[in-house]
Amino acid sequence: MSVSEIRMEQTQGLGRLAEVWFGGRLLEVCDSVSTAAVRQLPGVLDAAEFRYVSQQGFSLVEAIGENPSRRRELEHQRRWAYIGYGQITSIMPVVIDFGVLQMTDANWTTDESLVGQFVAVPIDRLEIVTRDVPDWPEELHELP
């Protein structure tokens, strides 16, 4: 298993608790890859990625003061909730390195001074979702 693979261990079904392996770590997540009719089987998920939802409003500037020890990790709280301690690696979009994985943050900014800053982000729901596969130009479908 590659460190970048997401491997389903087990799931309770769509919108419910699932356990997945990623980067050598077992994570509890919300399953958004199963369908209403069929649970995702155990194994490697080819077209999946992580996303998080934070229902608590926060700004990136506020989040900087919450990680003075400059940690990069996901600290499990309960079910699929975590506190994400990480470092902002880019903006437009904002990408945060949480150690075990990197994710795009919903906070939009053009403030380049945030790159390199360490933050703490409340993650109310860490989920696996189907990766958006780009539409290929029609002419590429017809290649031999």
The pLDDT of residue 142 = 43
Which residues touch 74 (CB under 8 Å, ≥6 apart)? 27, 82, 83, 84, 85, 98, 99, 100, 101, 123, 126
pTM value is: 0.83
Span 110-135, pLDDT tens digits: 899 999 999 999 999 999 998 864 54
Mean pLDDT calculated for residue range 61-83: 94
Helix (H) or strand (E) holding 33: none
Cα distance between residue 9 and residue 20, in whole Å: 5
The pLDDT of residue 135 = 47
State the virtual CA torsion across 20, 37, 79, 93 in degrees, nearest 10: 70
Would you say residue 138 has pLDDT above 50? no
